Amino acid sequence: MIRNVKIISTGNYLPERVVTATELDEKMGLAPGWCEKKSGCVERRFASEHETSPFMGARAVERALEKAGLKFSDCDALISTSGTPAQPIPCTAALIQEAMGELNSAIPSFDINATCLSFVAGLETMSYLVEAGKYNRVILVSSERASVGLNFNEKESASLMGDGAVAVIIEKTPEGEGSNIISSRFETYSEGAHWAEIRGAGSNIHPIRGNGKEDDFYFSMQGPKIFKMASKLMLPFCDRALKESGLTFKDMNLVIPHQASRMAMGLIQKKLQLSDDQFYTFVENHGNQVSASIPTGVHNAITEGKIKRGDKVMLLGTGAGFSIGALVFTY
């Protein structure tokens, strides 16, 4: 079912500190070149002390508002589509609203979380509320400070992740314009619930009362299992997702994949037979930014002119859960 919803503005925030693959090679005692070769990430940003997830999210929202010439009060909801919480309580959206200094806005603020696919799930979900007229204009914001939870004894994931925030503002498409969300599909296979996780610090393993070991509080990833599942599911899942859209990959001006490692993306691009022009990778200078990866792709593609109004775009990714999701829209 097509929703007449339009992306009207985006904004991002990248932490100031650049961390190179070379720096990580040294930090983890690896042979020069290991991190770049393994992850495909040459440099990424790591947040400093003051660059909390709500801080970064707030700056991204402000930039998206400024670009659109809007005030926060022109918007009807603020949805954090971040995959990791800033605090266990309250929700991250309330903390982002606070970090914007909008203390008495009354604007509904809550979180939609599907880990790496949070933005896709949030855009899908909230587009129905915009289409129905519940909210005229909604801000989605993914903000991730992955660096704080990296396990530098697990070089595969530690070489891969980067921090940052992106905000995307959507509204009902004005009469006579063609922007829309054509279709979306989401599937969760909890067989893979522990293939990418932080076991500790929620209610399962309390930081003080739980019997957690240090590693429980860091991110851990079983890359080969995720990749095997993703490889198995990718083609049939894309068939199902495309069938709902009535389109084929040939119709897509751009596919924006979740920025897993360059190797994983390369194999998926090959499997889907997409040209380099159609398949957008930017892991080189961002790393994998958890939920912020896919909206970073949207922001950069718009900013760099890779997509223009009327173009068909597919967002596509896998995430912890294990989930796989796709959303097709006309920009």
Residues 117-176 that bind a copy of itself (CB under 8 A): 117-118, 121, 125-126, 128-129, 131-134, 144-145, 148-149
Query: Of residues 242-271, which lie at the interface with a copy of itself (CB under 8 A)?
Result: none
Instruction: Return the bridge partners of 288, or none.
Output: 161
Q: Cβ(93)–Cβ(109) under 8 Å?
A: yes
Q: Are strands 312-319 and 323-330 parallel, antiparallel or unpaired?
A: antiparallel
Regarding 33 and contact with a copy of itself (CB under 8 A), the answer is no
Q: CB nearer to a copy of itself: give 85 or 269.
A: 85
Q: Which of 23, 191, 251, 304 is the binder for a copy of itself (CB under 8 A)?
A: 191
Question: Distance between CA 221 and CA 194 in Å, rounded?
Answer: 8
Q: Which of 4, 9, 39, 84 is the binder for a copy of itself (CB under 8 A)?
A: 84
Question: Distance between CA 293 and CA 143 in Å, rounded?
Answer: 10
Contact stretch for a copy of itself (CB under 8 A) within 31-39, 173-181, 193-201, 263-271: 193-201
Residue 290 in tokens: 């958890």
Regarding 11 and contact with a copy of itself (CB under 8 A), the answer is no
Q: How far is the CB of 196 from a copy of itself (least distance, A)?
A: 7
Regarding 78 and contact with a copy of itself (CB under 8 A), the answer is yes
Q: How far is the CB of 34 from a copy of itself (least distance, A)?
A: 23
Q: How far is the CB of 149 from a copy of itself (least distance, A)?
A: 6
Query: Of residues 13-32, which lie at the interface with a copy of itself (CB under 8 A)?
Result: none
Amino acid at 258: H
**Closest residue by Cα to residue 298 from 313, 317, 320:** 313
**Closest residue by Cα to residue 265 from 294, 244, 306:** 294
Regarding 50 and contact with a copy of itself (CB under 8 A), the answer is no
Query: Of residues 217-236, which lie at the interface with a copy of itself (CB under 8 A)?
Result: 217-219
Instruction: Return the bridge partners of 9, or none.
Output: 169
In this structure, what DSSP letter does residue 70 have? -
Q: Which of 4, 10, 12, 52 is the binder for a copy of itself (CB under 8 A)?
A: 52
Amino acid at 102: E
Regarding 193 and contact with a copy of itself (CB under 8 A), the answer is yes
Contact stretch for a copy of itself (CB under 8 A) within 15-23, 64-72, 106-114, 268-276: 106-114
Cα 152 to Cα 24, 25, 147, 215, 289, distances in angstroms:
9, 10, 10, 10, 17
Regarding 207 and contact with a copy of itself (CB under 8 A), the answer is yes
- Sequence-distant (≥ 6) Cβ neighbours of residue 70 within 8 angstroms: 9, 137, 169
Cα angle, residue 233 at apex, residues 300 and 240 outer, rounded to 5°: 80
Contact stretch for a copy of itself (CB under 8 A) within 102-110, 251-259, 276-284, 299-307: 102-110
Q: Which of 25, 36, 102, 171 is the binder for a copy of itself (CB under 8 A)?
A: 102
Q: How far is the CB of 303 from a copy of itself (least distance, A)?
A: 26
Question: Distance between CA 206 and CA 195 in Å, rounded?
Answer: 20
Question: Distance between CA 9 and CA 202 in Å, rounded?
Answer: 34
Q: CB nearer to a copy of itself: give 49 or 276.
A: 49
**Matching residue, tokens 């100031």:** 16
Q: How far is the CB of 146 from a copy of itself (least distance, A)?
A: 8
Q: Which of 113, 222, 269, 278 is the binder for a copy of itself (CB under 8 A)?
A: 113
- What are residue 27's phi and psi, to 5 degrees? -60, -40
**Matching residue, tokens 């990248």:** 14
